[in-house]
């Protein structure tokens, strides 16, 4: 056991724990009784996630590489969970959670890891055949089925993340330029179709509102307006945390989940944002280092896919908080309150540590 633990990337683990620590301090700094409860729950989630990461690092990741049946079973279970969650109770207009007592479980967070494993397996065997467009279509079907289920929840933030994972892995696997252009045209057609046939009125309003949030600052643009106020009020080094802040007074909605970036900016200012983004940069650097040192294409594509997943969620959440992207309800990875997201990322990191230990 000691020899195995020595082989793990402890610098990566320290960076991840620092990021989670930033999130915990931000949640606690809101200063409300509710935030203290979230702080304690998040600590419990962290303990569980860390244990699972270490346990999974002992598991030989090559089981996923060599046995397709394992991935197929995980994929089918994930699809089934996305189907049955549609019959769960709606929370904030979405049916995305199973309720287990006082704990909510979000299956979409775990299917992201399964999709990364599946795509890594598929393209590790066929990367020299990327000139064949059928591989683009078949791999697209792997994310097409879960996306079709997620549309009915609805959770368009997760759809964007799944699509980003697929597109990123496809590019890393060596997609041809003409296929990439065809893919771009298909994306445009899908967006037009979704706008007129799938998106609901409130979702269209979110997209239109982010362009000009001041058009209706107390209605459709309220979330974005309050987020910008919180970010701007932080200044260089932030203001005092607590109930007197924008987040503490609950002018800023979802201050511990979707808009925790704005909460952090209010509490710690530009300096806090710089520290946060620097830690994420170190995280991506370490993951890429593991990818480059990986002994096979499966391990390399999985590591890159995990980095793409975290990066996509980071960009979408920060862009949403800064009115650069529409509001999607996507949390900030490792920072926002939420056990499902935290545990799923640590599971991915556990597989990554298994790759590192066996490289």
| pLDDT at residue 211 greater than cutoff 60 | no
| pLDDT greater at residue 148 or residue 223 | 148
What pLDDT, in 10s, does the model give residues 104-113? 778 888 899 9
- Higher pLDDT pick, 126 / 305: 305
How many domains are contained in the chain?
A: 1
Whether the ω angle into residue 154 lies within 30 degrees of 0, i.e. cis, is: yes
Low-confidence winner among 9-13, 85-89, 104-108, 202-206 (lowest mean pLDDT): 202-206
Q: What is the pLDDT of residue 15?
A: 97
**With 90 as the cut, is the pLDDT of residue 154 above it?**
no
The Cα angle at residue 280 between residues 326 and 208, in degrees rounded to 5: 5
- Give CA separation, 283 vs 117, 302, 342, in Å: 20, 15, 15
Q: Minimum mean pLDDT among 155-164, 199-208, 291-300: which range?
A: 199-208
35 or 16, greater pLDDT = 16
The residue among 232, 247, 209, 214 whose CA lies nearest residue 326 is 209
What is the gyration radius of the CA atoms in the chain, in angstroms?
20
**Overall average pLDDT of the 97-121 stretch:** 81
* DSSP3 helix / strand / coil % (the chain, rounded to 5): 70, 0, 25
For helices 133-151 and 156-173, the axis angle rounded to 10 degrees is 170
- Tell which residue, 18, 10, 29, has the closest CA to residue 263: 29
Query: Does residue 138 contact residue 312 with C-beta atoms inside 8 Å?
Result: no
pLDDT higher at 311 or 3: 311
Average pLDDT (193-198) is 67
What was the pLDDT predicted at 255? 83
Number of Cβ within 10 Å of residue 137's Cβ equals 10
Whether the pLDDT of residue 320 is over 60: the answer is: yes
- Which of these ranges, 109-123, 192-206, 309-323, has the smallest mean pLDDT? 192-206
Average pLDDT over residues 171-190: 72
Model pLDDT, residue 92: 58
How many residues are listed for the chain in this entry?
359
Sign of CA dihedral 152, 158, 160, 165: negative
CA distance 136 to 350: 28
Residue 121's domain spans which residues?
2-357
What pLDDT does residue 96 have? 63
pLDDT category at 299 given cuts 50, 70, 90 is very high
Band the pLDDT of 167: cuts 50, 70, 90: confident
Q: How many CA atoms lie within 13 A of 184 on its CB side?
A: 8
Q: Are 42 and 342 in contact (CB under 8 A)?
A: yes
The answer on pLDDT for 100 being more than 70 is no
Higher pLDDT pick, 315 / 94: 315
Residue identified by tokens 């041809």 is 176
Task: Please check the confidence at residue 221 and state whether its pLDDT lies above 90.
Answer: no
Q: pLDDT at position 209, please?
A: 59
Pair of tokens at residue 36: 């203290």
Q: What is the pLDDT of residue 98?
A: 63
Range of 52-56, 81-85, 218-222 with top mean pLDDT: 52-56
What would the two tokens of residue 279 be? 């830690």
pLDDT band at 123 (very low <50, low <70, confident <90, very high): confident
Q: Each residue of 20-38: pLDDT tens digit?
A: 999 999 998 887 788 889 9
Mean model confidence pLDDT for the chain: 82
């Amino acid at each position: 056991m000691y020899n195995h633990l020595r082989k793990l990337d402890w610098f990566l683990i320290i960076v991840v724990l620092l990021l989670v620590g930033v999130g915990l301090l931000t949640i606690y700094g809101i200063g409300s009784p509710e935030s203290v409860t979230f702080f304690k729950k998040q600590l419990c989630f962290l303990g569980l996630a860390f244990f699972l990461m270490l346990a999974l690092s002992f598991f030989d990741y090559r089981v996923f590489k060599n046995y397709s049946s394992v991935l197929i079973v995980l994929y089918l279970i994930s699809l089934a969970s996305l189907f049955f969650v549609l019959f769960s109770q709606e929370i904030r207009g979405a049916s995305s959670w199973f309720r287990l007592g006082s704990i909510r479980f979000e299956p979409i967070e775990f299917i992201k890891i399964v999709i990364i494993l599946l795509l890594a397996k598929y393209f590790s065997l066929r990367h020299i055949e990327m000139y064949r467009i059928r591989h683009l279509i078949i791999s697209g079907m792997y994310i097409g089925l879960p996306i079709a289920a997620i549309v009915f929840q609805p959770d368009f933030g997760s759809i964007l993340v799944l699509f980003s994972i697929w597109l990123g892995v496809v590019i890393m696997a060596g997609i041809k330029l003409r296929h990439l252009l065809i893919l771009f045209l298909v994306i445009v057609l899908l967006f037009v179709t979704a706008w007129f046939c799938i998106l609901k009125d409130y979702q269209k309003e979110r997209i239109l509102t982010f362009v000009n949030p001041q058009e209706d600052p107390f209605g459709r643009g309220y979330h974005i307006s309050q987020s910008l106020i919180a970010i701007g009020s932080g200044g260089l080094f932030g203001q005092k945390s607590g109930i007197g802040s924008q987040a503490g007074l609950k002018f800023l909605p979802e201050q511990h989940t979707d808009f925790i970036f704005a909460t952090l900016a209010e509490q710690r200012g530009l300096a806090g944002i710089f520290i946060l983004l620097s830690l994420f940069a170190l995280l991506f650097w370490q993951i890429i280092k593991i990818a480059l040192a990986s002994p096979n294409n499966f391990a390399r594509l999985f590591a890159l896919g995990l980095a793409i997943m975290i990066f996509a969620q980071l960009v979408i959440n920060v862009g949403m908080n800064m009115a650069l992207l529409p509001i999607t309800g996507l949390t900030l990875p490792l920072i926002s309150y939420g056990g499902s997201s935290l545990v799923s990322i640590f599971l991915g990191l556990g597989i990554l540590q298994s790759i590192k230990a066996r490289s």
